[in-house]
Structure 1
Amino acid sequence: MSEQTKGFLATNWFKLFIVFFSVVLLLIYFHRESKLDDCVEQARLAYDYDWNFQCKEAKKEANCSLARFNADHIEAARAKRAAECVQRYSFK
């Protein structure tokens, strides 16, 4: 049987499989990248909330200057959240 008498799928099934598999891998990659970006953004929003909450507790305006201990504690919590995001969603 010649190549012309076979159907398109029968002739090119392996090439189509490779293309399909590549597309699936790209979709997985971009989905995880999107989840990582969302998680890091949530960590940043939690940081902003924590900072402004401490300002409010000190009876100051939002985005105030905090004592070094409070600022370091809030920054450490943000870094921990961001590291958890990277651990959860990165491919490393």
Structure 2
Amino acid sequence: MTLDEFETLLGRVEPLITRQDTKMRRAITARESLSLTLRFLATGETYKSLSFQYRIGATTVSDIVKHTCAALHQVLKDDFLKVRNP
């Protein structure tokens, strides 16, 4: 994936995956969430392995992947999934 393709994809999903900072901690950025999810989908690495690479808890990695995949499906389904009517 080129940088331009990544930026285009990020622009489409960013509104859906952006989180708010809290007083306790800074939110994980949409860019990092998308990067982590694409790495998981491309390599099949475990959540534990990704948690070490990104320095994020494994449970948080799991939540990010699920949430970002849902966002990717929502923004890409009309362009790439064809549904047949019976």
Q: Do these two structures clear the TM 0.5 threshold for a shared fold by scoring above it?
A: no
Point out which structure has higher relative CO (alpha carbons under 8 A, 6+ apart).
1
